[in-house]
Amino acid sequence: MTVPDQIRFDEPHAGLQRLAARFGGHAYDLHRHETYGVGLTLRGVQAFHYRGARTASRAGQVIVLHPDEAHDGHAGVADGFAYRMLYVDPGAISAALGRAQSPFVPEAVADDPALAAVVHEAFTDFPRALEPLAADAVMARLGGWLTLRGDAGLRRDHGATAYRAVRRARDFLVAEAPRTVASEELERVSGLDRFALARHFRAAFGTSPHRFQVGRRLIRARAMIASGIPLSEAAAAAGFADQSHLTRHFSARFGLTPGRWAMLARPSAEESSG
């Protein structure tokens, strides 16, 4: 019997979102996240293209994808694959580490029981929400692991002053996510000119201010779509010009269309009756 493709996820909290999924074949088109993707393959082989190479994660192996790095996903064996993924806000990692840079981990796939244990810990009682102290503990462990395996020693620190400035810009973008924000507004909020802001923002959070803001809109739209709200209504409520505008950004961010997302996130008959 073929097991249907499925996605289950929770709402982002304290810079952390959890997703569990299974696929029998093609999973995602090429796309990018503005978050880290830290995952664990549970079954089968998860194959993907990342940073110019084709790689694969087998059962028990962990995956680390850096913000804004394009990747796709599909089954590497006939039986498909299942996995768990943590989408981690680079700003939360920077805060946990007490510095302005987000580490880069060159090795996308690894045999690492310690990191696998962190992912398992994060999924305790999933999909019930993590308790705040548990979320803090997961974030602290992830920060330490990313630093240990990353190339932070080779990257220039941009300083505490710039970090405070881009945090102000980031908080402003979160608050104003549904509307278009002008460059002049971010310059006033941060105290940096737009080009310095773009450099420091990417150093701290791994992406650009615009992609970060669009990501906030998409997370809101994705939750609305999964709850059954029509695409046109979700697009308007999340700040997109129309449904086609939402679809373009949704596909680029998640690697699948809003319609397919709605189908994969829909509870099965067994779950609905249980």
Residues 17 and 150 in one domain: yes
Question: Is the pLDDT reported for residue 204 higher than 70?
Answer: yes
**Could you tell me if 82 and 7 are in contact, meaning their C-beta atoms sit under 8 angstroms apart?**
no
DSSP H or E segment with residue 246? helix 243-254
Check whether residue 17 and residue 86 sit in a common domain: yes
According to DSSP, residue 43 is labeled E
Asked if the structure places residue 1 within a domain, the reply is no
Out of 108-122, 194-208, 247-261, least confident range = 194-208
Structural domain including 237 reads: 212-273
> Does 17 lie in the same domain as 140?
yes
Q: Which tokens go with 32? A: 């990018």
Into how many domains does the chain fold? 3
Same domain, 79 and 135: yes
Task: Identify the bridge partners of residue 57 per DSSP, sorted by sequence position.
Answer: 46
* 61 and 123 housed in the same domain: yes
* Res. 158: pLDDT tops 80: no
User: Are 173 and 244 part of one and the same domain?
Assistant: no
Q: pLDDT-based confidence at 94, cuts 50/70/90?
A: confident
Tens-place pLDDT, residues 31-85: 999 999 999 999 999 999 999 999 999 999 999 999 999 999 999 999 999 999 9
**145, 54: one domain:** yes
What span, in angstroms and rounded, lies between the C-alpha atoms of 190 and 188? Answer: 6
- Name the most confidently modeled range: 85-99, 148-162, 183-197: 183-197
- State residue 221's pLDDT score: 94
87 lies in the same domain as 54: yes
Tell whether 123 and 183 lie within a shared domain.
no
**Distance, CA of 98 to CA of 186 (rounded, Å):** 23
To the nearest whole percent, how much of the chain has pLDDT over 70?
92
- 229 part of a folded domain: yes
Contact residues for 119 (Cβ-Cβ < 8 A; gap 6+): 38, 39, 40, 62, 84, 86
Alpha-carbon distance of 231 to 63, in angstroms, equals 32
Return mean pLDDT, the chain.
88
pLDDT tens digit string along 215-244? 999 999 999 998 999 999 999 999 998 999
